[in-house]
Amino acid sequence: MQTYQGSCHCGTVRFEIDTEFTEFTKCDCTLCAKKNAVMTKVHESQFRLLAGEADLGTYQWNTGTAKHHFCKSCGIYTFHRKRVSPDYFGINVFCLDEAALADVPVIEVDGISMSRV
Ligand SMILES: [Zn+2]
């Protein structure tokens, strides 16, 4: 298990995760398609918000269960609390400082059919 530091663009929101990367996911739901996000998943016990709690915006849509967080200053999506498994966070891997992104396979997730209106 390795610890990775993450932050938004302006550095207001900072967090760290403990994980072993096996795969990243890309989701085709309407929100993720617009964010073009590539994500990894960690249990809440492996996630620590280090700074920026007051500057964290929250966007909720569809069932309103998942909480999609972004920095209110720079607007960057940093992580979200998941709907189907709410004790897990989805993490924007591009916010991580030292992830060896190229070595991790990216899996396409069928998010459209998971969306409920
Ligand atoms: Zn920011």
pLDDT of residue 115: 64
What number of helices (H) and strands (E) belong to the chain?
1, 10
Instruction: Assess contact for 5 and 16: CB atoms under 8 A.
Output: yes
Q: Which residues of the chain have pLDDT under 50?
A: none
> Which of 80, 74, 81, 99 lies closest to 8 in space, CA to CA?
74
Q: How many angstroms is it from 61 CA to the middle of ligand 1? A: 22
The SS3 assignment for 113 reads helix
Output the pTM of the full model: 0.88
Instruction: Collect residues with CB below 5 Å from ion ligand 1.
Output: 8, 10, 12, 71, 73-74
pLDDT of residue 102: 60
Q: How many angstroms is it from 17 CA to the middle of ligand 1? A: 18
Q: Which residues of 17-41 are buried (b: 16+ CB within 10 A; e: fewer)?
A: bebebeebbebebebbeebebbbbb
Q: What is the CATH number of domain 2-114?
A: 2.170.150.70
HEC secondary structure over 50-102: EECHHHEEEECCCCCCCEEEEECCCCCEEEEECCCCCCEEEEEHHHECCCCHH
Q: How many angstroms is it from 85 CA to the middle of ligand 1? A: 26
